[in-house]
């Protein structure tokens, strides 16, 4: 559900602030507060459906607030465009940090059984930096807050954008031939929260770049799959247990850390029409190890968490229809 579309300079903040922001709402559950700022473009593009689309976006944000209780504010601009050239898209600000710093933050933030597995012997969050040569590790600004890399703040953490010309269902049963807007919104919100891979790509002038989700990527026991290609899976325990298959980005050029086609899921690379794309147990486990403190964890679990800091960049990603 996302394609690396290119790089955006830090000036995106100024561009966004000039759009004219309207109808800010707030997700309400635990300590995690996700605040949208709906742009004039969003309301104009969705027209008579604007209120329903806003409510669906807030419902999507509430899914994360209901499952995670980090005492932080995630602030997201919500934009809209006419037509179908965009389905769902996100832009995310990033900070950089050394692997040692990231691992130290992950260890300090560990709370769940999955976290303990990830940082333990045989876990995916290995002691030494798994990448050789010159490289950079990144974390989204929202993720940096969750991990304590930066203090909580009111700054914009990214933008989610939707094409109003697509046939969406905003609430209730998903009508045939339409797409689950809440599911698309959850996908894009999670990317702003840090569910995105760079997988050896370039951010600004920084080639060979990675995020913590790349570190939880394996092709088998003890074999990291930090780049792109087939057979790369999400794993907490160093590849012993492959929890879910990622999209083969080397083949289709799309997002490296969206799920491959399979059961309907908000984190899939593609969305089918006429189906609900809900959040699954493995989705929640993934967000848990990416730095968010899960409220309810099932008895059998395994884990890790994520963190980062310093630097300013933004990447744009996009979700696709099936």
Q: pLDDT tens digits for 106-136?
A: 999 999 999 999 999 999 999 999 999 999 9
Q: Cα separation of 63 and 107, whole Å?
A: 26
Residues pairing with 21 in the sheet: 39
- The angle at the Cα of 73, spanning 72 to 74, to the nearest 5 degrees, equals 120
pLDDT given at position 123:
98
Residue 202 vs residues 2, 16, 52, 151: alpha-carbon distances, Å: 16, 24, 37, 27
Residue 199 pLDDT > 60: yes
Q: Which of 171, 169, 97 lies closest to 136, judged by CA?
A: 97
Percent of the chain at pLDDT above 70? 83
Summarize the confidence of residues 75-87 as an average pLDDT. Answer: 98
pLDDT given at position 26:
53
Instruction: Please return the burial class of 218, using the count of CB atoms within 10 Å of its CB with bins 0-12, 13-18 and 19+.
Output: buried
Summarize the confidence of residues 295-302 as an average pLDDT. Answer: 55
Q: Residue 230's CB: how many other CB atoms inside 10 A?
A: 14
Residue 185 has phi, psi (to 5 degrees) of -65, -40
Q: Which DSSP helix (H) or strand (E) runs through 37?
A: strand 33-39
Strand 244-245 relative to strand 33-39, pairing: unpaired
- The angle at the Cα of 170, spanning 166 to 171, to the nearest 5 degrees, equals 150
Instruction: Tokens for 156, please give them.
Output: 């914009």
Instruction: Tokens for 42, please give them.
Output: 């969003």
pLDDT given at position 321:
79
pLDDT given at position 153:
97
Q: Residue 33's CB: how many other CB atoms inside 10 A?
A: 18
Q: Which of 305, 309, 307 lies closest to 124, judged by CA?
A: 305
Largest CA distance in the chain: 55
Q: Cα separation of 272 and 29, whole Å?
A: 29
Summarize the confidence of residues 221-230 as an average pLDDT. Answer: 97
Summarize the confidence of residues 219-224 as an average pLDDT. Answer: 98
Strand 73-81 relative to strand 158-163, pairing: parallel
Residue 21 pLDDT > 70: no
Q: Cα separation of 85 and 173, whole Å?
A: 25
Residues pairing with 317 in the sheet: 90
Instruction: Tokens for 231, please give them.
Output: 């057979």
- Residue 311 confidence class, pLDDT cut points 50, 70, 90: very low
Instruction: Kindly report the pTM of this predicted structure.
Output: 0.87
Give me the chain's average pLDDT, please: 87
Residue 285 has phi, psi (to 5 degrees) of -65, -40
Q: Which DSSP helix (H) or strand (E) runs through 81?
A: strand 73-81
């Amino acid at each position: 559900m996302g394609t690396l579309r290119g790089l955006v300079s830090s000036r995106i903040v100024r561009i966004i602030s000039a759009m004219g922001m309207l109808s800010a709402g707030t997700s309400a559950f635990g300590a995690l507060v996700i605040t949208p700022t709906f742009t004039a473009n969003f309301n104009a593009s969705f027209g008579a459906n604007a209120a329903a689309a806003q409510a669906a976006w807030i419902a999507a944000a509430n899914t994360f607030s209901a499952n995670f209780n980090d005492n932080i504010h995630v602030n997201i601009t919500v934009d809209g465009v006419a037509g179908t050239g965009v389905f769902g898209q996100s832009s995310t600000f990033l900070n950089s940090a050394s692997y040692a710093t990231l691992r130290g933050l992950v260890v300090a933030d560990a709370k769940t059984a999955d976290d303990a597995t990830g940082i333990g012997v045989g876990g995916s969050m290995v002691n030494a930096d798994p990448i050789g040569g010159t490289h950079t590790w990144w974390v989204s600004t929202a993720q940096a807050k969750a991990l304590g890399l930066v203090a909580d703040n009111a700054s914009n953490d990214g933008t989610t954008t939707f094409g109003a010309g697509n046939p969406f269902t905003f609430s209730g049963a998903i009508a045939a031939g339409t797409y689950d807007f809440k599911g698309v919104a959850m996908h894009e919100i999670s990317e702003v929260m840090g569910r995105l891979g760079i997988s050896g790509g370039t951010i600004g002038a920084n080639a060979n770049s990675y995020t913590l989700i790349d570190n939880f990527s394996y092709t088998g026991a003890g074999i990291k799959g930090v780049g792109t290609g087939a057979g790369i899976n999400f794993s907490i325990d160093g590849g012993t247990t492959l929890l879910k298959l990622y999209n083969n980005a080397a083949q289709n050029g799309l997002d490296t850390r969206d799920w491959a086609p399979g059961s309907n899921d908000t984190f899939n690379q593609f969305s089918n029409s006429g189906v609900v794309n809900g959040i699954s147990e493995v989705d929640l486990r993934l967000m848990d190890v990416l730095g968010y403190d899960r409220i309810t964890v099932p008895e059998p679990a395994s884990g890790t968490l994520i963190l980062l800091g310093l630097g300013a960049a933004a990447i744009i990603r996009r979700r696709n229809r099936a």
